[in-house]
Amino acid sequence: MTKLMQWLAAVGLFMSIWLAIVLDMISLNIPDSKKEILHALPVYILIVFACYSLALIGYRVATFNDCVEESRELKEEIQEAKKELTEKGYKFD
Amino acid sequence: MEANRKYSVLLPTYNEKENLPLIVWLLVKVFTDSGLDFEIIVIDDGSPDGTLEAGKQLEKIYGKDKIVLRPRKEKLGLGTAYVHGMKHATGDFIIIMDADLSHHPKYIPEFIKKQQEGDCDIVTGTRYVGSGGVYGWDFKRKFVSRTANYIAQVLLRPGVSDLTGSFRLYKKAVLEKLVESCVSKGYVFQMEMMIRARHFGYTIDEVPIAFVDRMYGESKLAGKEIVDYLKGLLYLFANL
């Protein structure tokens, strides 16, 4: 099963249960005051997911390591490499 | 570490005359210090800057058994470069990495240790977890990279934190099988390799790496690159 099929199956399953409840095909005796929340549930879930995603990406950008030390080390090693290679007869130009 | 294993490094190059001697020097140093058997296979795609001549100088210094030059006439893409290089590889394991010094050979002993711990099929370098990271990226580049990675993680759930990285160690037979079945190009190729590897049931472990981008310029993050990435992602999403 492709990832697309898995996603369609999961979303389809959720939406059919949601629809069945909204259309009163399954009666859960939900009071009218709570029905509004139920009706908007898919939209709420989308909004929460979007906020979660943005927060997570923001956090990961902020904590993305800057490898300053590694860059400095590499520069030193490049100097060392050039020196040693020249001694071994390598011709840089 | 077991001494009888041999590691073949595949270095596809295009206009890397400046970097080739440096990366080779670093590789030789790391392998020699760790007492590991190795060879470096340079696959140069007809670079006009004289990369091949640089390779010939290195071949003279380090010997034909260590520096294996397998040039091709023209630029033919990464997947075929791996196939071409592997035909000549005598190692049990293949290490692929960029020749532009963004991937430091000092991580290779860690890759090998990780591989041996769990006898896993693939070890991949990751910029996204633990001590991994990048150098030389501005906010925009980091943001795009993190977002692209996040979308791939959500859609594909690959169980690998860095899908587009190209610093990896493979068992030779595993890489042969993967290259044979992957059809994408560029970044997406690296991603497809990981997703297909999961499909085949190969085990994958990770090592945090510092990615030092010395060449980074604004032009590199073109809109086309992002569009190609998304297209590739959707292709994998719909087909795997």
What is the pLDDT confidence band of residue B216, given thresholds at 50, 70 and 90? low
Helix (H, G, I), strand (E, B) or coil at A8: helix
| Percent share of chain B, pLDDT over 70 | 96
Residue B215 has pLDDT above 80, yes or no: no
Test B26 with A81 for CB contact under 8 angstroms.
Answer: yes
Question: How high is the ipTM of this complex?
Answer: 0.90
Distance CA B25, CA B172 (A): 24
What is the pLDDT confidence band of residue B147, given thresholds at 50, 70 and 90? very high
Distance CA B218, CA B137 (A): 10
**Mean pLDDT over residues B91-119, rounded?**
97
List domains and CATH numbers for chain B: 6-239 (3.90.550.10)
Decide if A24 touches B, using CB distance below 8 A: no
CB pairs under 8 A between A and B: 84
Q: Is B42 or B217 the better-scoring residue by pLDDT?
A: B42
* List of residues 6+ apart from B215 with CB closer than 8 A: B100
Test A66 with B104 for CB contact under 8 angstroms.
Answer: no
Q: In B, which residues are within 8 Å of A61 by CB distance?
A: 139, 142-143, 146
Q: Are B178 and B189 in contact (CB under 8 A)?
A: no
Q: State which H helix or E strand residue A65 sits in.
A: strand A65-66
CB proximity under 8 Å: B 133-162 to A: 133-137, 139, 142-143, 145-147, 150, 154-157
Residue B115 has pLDDT above 80, yes or no: yes
Closest partner residue to B210 among A2, A70, A91, by Cβ?
A70
Decide if A67 touches B, using CB distance below 8 A: yes
Residue B218 has pLDDT above 70, yes or no: no
